[in-house]
């Protein structure tokens, strides 16, 4: 049971919660974060790690948040610099067909003339092991069924190295998605130390299924793959930090975040421009209302999240010495849709406090509290016992800066 005093303290924020909700949903800030996102993505475009566009994005956000009246600074980070290059693939047997592909981050390229080889289609790592004797010299196509992102993404992450162990010359991975309109999805992949590095790319669900059906009929499938991918030396970058200092406990921090980098084949509006904008918007709303938090509210816009939370890990390494001063870490990186609630990871006592907090979101029907909040960028903090939430309703949670959440 939550102590009655704590429940009453949380309930005491009802008027503040209503002010924030009214300003964001009905007031002058209505649709502001959308307008900010549109201007940002239209101006900068994609923001892949190591690119000039990412550095332009960091400067853009630094200037915008300074103009918004926030206390802003940059913290240096070293980040990967992978370049896609030109890429193509076509099936040459049993019939000619162009394959839509996207090379996976950190992949090596093919020789300039490409790789043309017979295909082995498998549906799991287990099947690959059982058919290891058939894999040498072939391009392995993984046609794994989509179960969930968290489970199925292992094929994208580790498929190349698993196939290389049994002698494959390249891999093509079915895109990790439950829906497809002949649209390949990119993402980061990790080579295992001591294993030969072979080219790897994602193909569409439709083409993976096509080749699987052909293989089931016993047809010989041949694919020609050409990739100009290469990895350059690590680049200099920054995590972008904006904050409103707490008036009573300025050394204690409630952290909100999203990542500024994106992949290179879209605008990065959902992943994660929207998360970055609402992390900024949360501070804007509190500033506009003249609210004074007891603890410091800090928004961090991470660099190089798509490469495995590189910027966030360096931030953690720098600030973990002050671990006890971080009361709550938050991240938005699931897409910015209509909010339905919060995902939360913390102690039982902290969970009880958060159950009271989400009650304040009843006016926008966002009272759901799910267990197991997670996020690439905030995971080091949560693993160390700091309470963490993923998604939704940042401004309200940030406004609760007077509350202390018990850590694990």
3-state secondary structure the chain: CCCHHHHHHHHCCHHHHHHHHHHHHCCCCCCHHHHHHHHHHHHHCCCCCCCHHHHHHHHHHHHHHHHCCCEEEEEEEEEEEEECCCEEEEEEECCCEEECEEECECCCCCCCCCEEEEEEEECCHHHHHHCHHHCCCCEEEECCCCCCHHHHHHHHHHHHHHHHHCCCCEEEEECCCCCCCCCCCCCECCCCCCCCCCCEEEECHHHHHHHHHHHHCCCCCEEEEEECCEEEEEEEEEEEEEEECCCCEEEEEEEEEEECCCCCCCCCHHHHHHHHHHHHHHHHHHHHCCCCCCEEEEEEEECCCCCCCHHHHHHHHHHHHHHHHEEEEEECCCCCCCCCEEEEECCHHHHHHHHHHHHHHHHHCCCEEEECCCCCCCHHHHHCCCCEEECCCHHHHHHCCCCCCCCC
Q: Is-catalytic flag, 305? A: yes
The residue from 243, 281, 305, 306 that is catalytic is 305
Tell me how far apart the alpha carbons of residues 353 and 7 are, in angstroms, rounded to a whole number: 7
The answer to whether the beta carbons of residues 102 and 184 sit under 8 Å apart is yes
The catalytic residue positions are 305
């Amino acid at each position: 049971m939550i102590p009655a005093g704590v429940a009453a303290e949380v309930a005491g924020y009802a008027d503040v919660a209503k002010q924030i909700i009214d300003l964001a949903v009905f007031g002058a800030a209505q649709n502001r974060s959308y307008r900010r996102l549109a201007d940002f993505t239209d101006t900068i475009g994609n923001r892949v790690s190591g690119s000039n566009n990412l550095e332009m994005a960091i400067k853009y956000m630094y200037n915008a948040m300074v103009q918004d009246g926030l206390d802003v600074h940059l913290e240096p980070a070293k980040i990967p610099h992978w370049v896609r290059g030109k890429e193509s693939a076509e099936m040459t047997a049993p019939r000619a067909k162009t394959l839509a592909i996207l090379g996976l981050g950190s992949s090596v390229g093919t020789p300039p003339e490409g790789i043309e080889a017979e295909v082995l289609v498998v549906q799991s790592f287990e099947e690959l092991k059982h058919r290891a004797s058939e894999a040498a010299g072939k391009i392995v196509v993984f046609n794994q069924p989509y179960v969930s992102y968290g489970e199925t993404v292992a094929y994208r992450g580790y498929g190349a190295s698993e196939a290389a162990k049994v002698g494959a010359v390249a891999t093509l991975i079915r895109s990790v998605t439950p829906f497809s309109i002949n649209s390949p999805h990119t993402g980061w992949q990790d080579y295992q130390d001591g294993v030969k590095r072979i080219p790897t790319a994602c193909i569409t669900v439709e083409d993976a299924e096509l080749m699987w059906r052909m293989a089931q009929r016993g047809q010989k499938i041949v694919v020609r793959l050409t990739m100009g991918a290469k990895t350059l030396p690590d680049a200099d970058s920054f995590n972008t930090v904006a904050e409103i200092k707490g008036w009573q406990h300025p050394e204690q921090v409630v952290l909100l975040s999203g990542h500024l980098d994106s992949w290179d084949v879209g605008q990065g509006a959902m992943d994660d421009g929207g998360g970055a904008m609402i992390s900024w918007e949360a501070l804007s709303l509190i500033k506009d209302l003249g609210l004074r938090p007891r603890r410091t509210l800090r928004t961090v816009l991470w660099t190089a999240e798509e490469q495995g939370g590189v910027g966030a890990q360096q931030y953690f390494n720098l600030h973990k010495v002050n671990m006890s001063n971080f009361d709550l870490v938050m991240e938005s990186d699931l897409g910015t849709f209509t909010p339905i609630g919060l995902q939360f990871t913390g102690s039982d006592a902290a969970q009880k406090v958060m159950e009271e907090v989400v009650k304040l979101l009843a006016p926008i029907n966002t009272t759901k509290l799910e267990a197991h909040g997670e996020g690439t960028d905030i995971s080091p903090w949560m693993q160390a016992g700091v309470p963490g939430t993923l998604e939704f309703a940042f401004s309200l949670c940030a406004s609760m800066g007077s509350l202390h959440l018990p850590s694990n």
